[in-house]
Structure 1
Amino acid sequence: MRLRQLFVIGLALSLLGIGVPAWSADDPRGCDDLMAADTPAYVVCRWMATPEEAAEIARFWLDDDGRNMRDSGPMNPIVIDCTEDGAQCATDSEGDGEMHDVGSPDVEGSEDGGEPECPTAEPCFVDPDEVTGAALKQAAETPAGQAVKAAAANGMRVWIDTELADDHQAGKLADTAKKIAALAAQPGVAGIRFSSGLGYNQTFATAEELDAFVLSAATTLRKLAPGKKLAVQTAVPALGCGADEECKKALTAKRPLPDPDRVGAWLAQGLVDQLSLDGGHFATEYATWGIDAATAQRNQWIQVRARAWDAYAQIAAEDTGFAAPGGSGLTAEQATKTITERVAAPLQDDAAETVTLWTRWQDAQGRVSRVSGEKWAANPTWDQLKKLTAVRARLATLYDPVTPEVDVATDLKSLSEIFGQLYVRTA
């Protein structure tokens, strides 16, 4: 991330006509020889102090049994006597009012340095006034809670995937959010995705309603589930138009709520920590303007980079196109090509940091769409996905524990062979 920032800064300076000094090979402060041969040219190694200067600095402090270090002891502390006339001292500070040794527990039951102790069998960091112990226990026993436990046991990073938009509209967001917070407090949960298709579906009629929901949901969950990441999923069709103004105008009129500036504001305000962008519309939405799916995808990621959304949040690509009724019918060659275009490309374009693939879902009529064969049987697409071990941590999928393929334990063991992250759906 730091190298990317350095590169962007260097590029910006060059566009502004500001020169960046180049260090020659014989520069005594240069240390490029310590870097790998495939290090990009814009990454430069330079000693803050040469090895010789570092040795001199060390000798200065260590000679004569460290006399200079001892002589440089702490400055005279600033002491305030609260008994003096005119002195004002706070009387409502936290703590027990007693002195403690450095590193000793601040409160009974805490660990080194004052961190609250957290038994591995219990969830941590919840407000007992908001999420009770009974609620935590009840959440752990639900299908979603059991899926969280199984996923964590298989080394997967877990998100709770829920939909709070309807609850918000019905005035029930606070009650539902407490249940979600109890699930999110289970060990192994990194965050909560609180809405999908945000602004793209028909839940909200106006931009004001949409913004009010995002603010309310984020504020409520920050309070109930402190420390957990918050995510949303949507599609922003205008991003795929590239420089075609007619395309942007038409798609903005068609889908006015998921406006790029509005979505970017959610990120800049810190309301959302992860944004997943769906790509299901790439194949059909842009035909009128002669923009194919690959170009639309490329346009989107260029726009995302240009808007620097990744400076505020993690950006993810989401794809439902690998699954089909009964299982993927792609050949090995077709699967490789599709993975290259829709998994590798977003990652290599350096815009999306993770890719979420829908691997299984069941419609209202009970028909199941899968990527693998039935009961996780192998097929060419599943086999090709298994080869992506180098990017496992960047691959995610969704799982509904209410409608398992086999059972929760078997399902999550199979999914963990490909995916490093899991979105556990709630009823």
Structure 2
Amino acid sequence: MKHALGSITRRERRFAAAGVIIALTLLLPVVAVAEPGLLPGTGDPAQPGLELALDVERGDSCRDTLPADTPTYVVCRWLNPPQDAAQVATFWAADDGANLKAAQPLPARYVRCNQKTDLSTSSSCKGGETLCEQLPDDDWYQCTDQTTGQTTYERYVNGTRTVRTTPPTTATPKATMTSAPASAEPTATPTASTPLPTISTEPIDPTATATTPTPLPTVSAETTSSAGTGPLAKAVSAARSTTQRLRIWVESDLADDYAAGDPQFTTALNALIAAAKHPGVTGVKFADNLAYTNFTRAQDVTRFLKRASAALRAALPGKRLSIGVVVPELGCGSAKACIQEMRTKAPLATKENVTRYLKTAAVDRVEVSTGLFGRTYARHKVPDPKTGKPTPITPALAARAQWMSIRALEWDTLTQIGAREYGLAHAGATSPWDKATATAQIDARIGTAIAFGIPTITLWGHKTADGDQTYRLLDADLTPNAVWTALTTQRLRGRLAVILDPSSTERGVTTDLTELAKVASDVFILT
């Protein structure tokens, strides 16, 4: 580290110091929020979008949010509370960074202005510079004033600076420095014996988080023709032709067909394989909300996964495989009654069972549904993170508890974990949310997921029929609303995906995909 810092110029050191100050001012509050710090929607009931900081003195809130069997290493504490970040930055920046200079370890070589206030009033050392170089095998520095030529010997011990005019008895003085240090040293060039590291550039797919009532929305469409002129082929071609190129997935839920018997399962499987062979298709999603319905035993779920995965991998080498899961109990946090109710509701979709399914290594990506069961969660209470008083489980608290639990379960070591967000869609032609509400909902749902390290979020509800209701993200006829405008301006495109049913569009496949591509980088096309 000392050699690395010692090889940069004085100008570069200034830039580095400025970067440290900016990072302390801006990034520490962000890190605090991400781990996790702010609780969306837990403020004044009259202001549902307000976020309140946790009580810093109270500290760890995970014990109140997570179930009792959570590993003890899962904690959430502030790295630096936002209200203290400015004070921290001021401390390190004050007096021309004197505290930074006093901190240990120092680089092997460094330069300082003779007048402490120089850099605070100008971009140069008007009073001249002093160059310091560490003496061999010692913590003493030989410092030469470049204006007067005077040499001193200095060291810092526990932040205290000691200066002497004669060399320390344990050190050998160096030749007086009369020219710029570090910047004059040559930079090492990698050779065949020291190759540069290889960096993976595999693209990341989109993600999301949300709330709606049960039963689960239907996400599979009627099977369409896989011929080159069929609706799916046209949708794939349109997705490839958008100005902002979309990564394309084809999606179907084979669980129903598997439960219906081999003939129907084989037919559905072959249709999905044919759809995935269209040029430009990245991967296949072959099950949604796995084991919530259709199965009576966990062993049958495992057999389905292994059988479908083996057939798809054999027929579609190089394509990525994905499924969706829903684990209702994860949104309960520490509410035991809620956990028991959710396990009764979905006995094959508990966290223990889903962990077993993921350990089959059948898929490359799993989308965890979020934004569901809001009415059920609201009937149960957990301690408020700030006051400790019982409070109903809000969508924001449910999302936070879910992603914290998934981190504790270590699912990301088994496969790529994404989210499928159901709570940003609205029923009918027009969204009822204004700008403030839409922004608060996006922060609580998508922001919570991203803050807990979920890389990709898929948004459900582009003109999707569920029962007698039609759900939308935009308003009817692709009219932008407050949600869509906020998603467009927040520049989350690389982390978001959408779902398209070619048989249910607002203004046609091509026009719809052109609009959807403004917000999302991936599209799941239903077959």
- Find the aligned partners of 1:383 and 1:209 in 2 and give their Cα distance: 44
Q: In terms of mean alpha carbon deviation, does 152-161 or 262-271 score higher?
A: 262-271
* Aligned mate of 1:164, from 254, 272, 286: 254
Q: For 1:318, give the aligned amino acid.
A: R
Whether 2:315 is the aligned partner of 1:224: answer yes
- Are positions 1:405 and 2:495 aligned together? no
Matched, 1:173 2:261: no
Among 422, 426, 433, the residue aligned to 1:330: 433
Q: Deviations over 1:233-263 (max 9, x none)?
A: 1210121222334432332233110121222
Matched, 1:315 2:315: no
Separation (CA, whole Å) in 2 of partners of 1:351 and 1:237: 18
CA spacing shift, 1:174–1:30, aligned 2, 3 Å: farther
Which whole-Å CA distance do the structure 1 matches of 2:475 and 2:490 have between them?
19
Contact 1:286 1:296 in 2 (8 A): yes
Give the SS at the match of 2:322: strand
Tell whether 2:493 aligns with 1:392.
Answer: yes
Match of 2:343 in 1: 252
SS at match of 1:414: helix
Aligned-residue offset at 1:377: 1.3
CA contact 1:327–1:369 (8 Å) conserved in 2: no
Amino acid at match of 1:212: R
Name which of 239, 243, 252 aligns with 2:334: 243
| Corresponding residue of 2:3 | 28
Letter in 2 for 1:160: V
- Alignment correspondent of 1:11: none
SS in 2 for 1:139: coil
Q: What secondary structure, in the 3-state scheme, does the structure 2 residue paired with 1:328 have? A: coil
Separation of aligned partners in 1, 2:338 and 2:190 = 62
Distance in 1, Cα, partners of 2:265 & 2:324:
18
**Bigger shift: 395-404 or 284-293?**
284-293
1:270 aligns with 2:361: yes
Could you say which structure has the greater relative contact order, defined with CA pairs below 8 angstroms and 6 or more residues apart?
2
Residues 383-406 of structure 1: CA deviation (Å, up to 9, x unaligned): 2222132x2021111111012211
Report if aligned partners of 1:394, 1:420 keep a CA contact under 8 Å in 2: yes
Task: Please give the secondary structure, in 1, of the residue aligned with 2:323.
Answer: strand
Does residue 153 of the first structure (1) align with residue 241 of the second (2)?
yes
CA–CA separation in structure 2 for the residues paired with 1:234 and 1:369 = 21
Q: 2:476 maps to which residue?
A: 374
Report the aligned-residue RMSD: 3.0
Q: Does 1:420 align with 2:509?
A: no
Report the secondary structure of 1:159's partner residue: strand
Q: Is there any run of 5+ residues in structure 1 with no aligned partner, and where?
A: 1-22, 43-49, 62-136
Higher strand share: 2
Contact 2:456 2:496 in 1 (8 A): no
Q: What amino acid maps onto 2:412 in structure 1?
A: D
SS at match of 1:227: coil
Task: Report the Cα offset of residue 295 of structure 1.
Answer: 1.2
For 1:265 and 1:380, locate their aligned partners in 2 and report how far apart those are by CA, in whole Å: 40
Match of 2:90 in 1: none
Asked whether 1:348 is paired with 2:431, we answer no
1:209 pairs, out of 300, 307, 315, with: 300
Distance, in Å, in 1 between the alignment partners of 2:379 and 2:437 is: 26
How far off its partner does 1:138 sit?
4.8
Confirm or deny: 8 A CA contact 2:463 2:505 kept in the other structure: no
Q: 1:225 to 1:244 in 2, by over 3 A?
A: same
**Cα gap change, 1:200/1:29 in structure 2, threshold over 3 Å: closer, same or farther?**
same
Counterpart code for 2:509: V
Matched letter for residue 326 of structure 1: A
Report what 2:40 is aligned to. none
Unaligned runs of 5+ in 2: 32-181, 194-224, 382-392
Q: Give the one of 394, 413, 418 matched to 1:292.
A: 394
Match of 1:302 among 397, 404, 409: 404
Aligned partners of 1:272 and 1:225: how far apart in 2? 13
Shift, 1:370, TM fit: 1.6
Distance (whole Å) between structure 1 residues aligned to residue 186 and residue 300 of structure 2: 61
The TM-score, its normalising length taken from structure 1, stands at 0.67
CA distance in structure 2 between the partners assigned to 1:279 and 1:145 by the alignment: 30
User: What is the match of residue 361 of structure 1?
Assistant: 464
What is the deviation of 1:57? 8.4
Instruction: State the shift of 1:29 in Å.
Output: 4.5
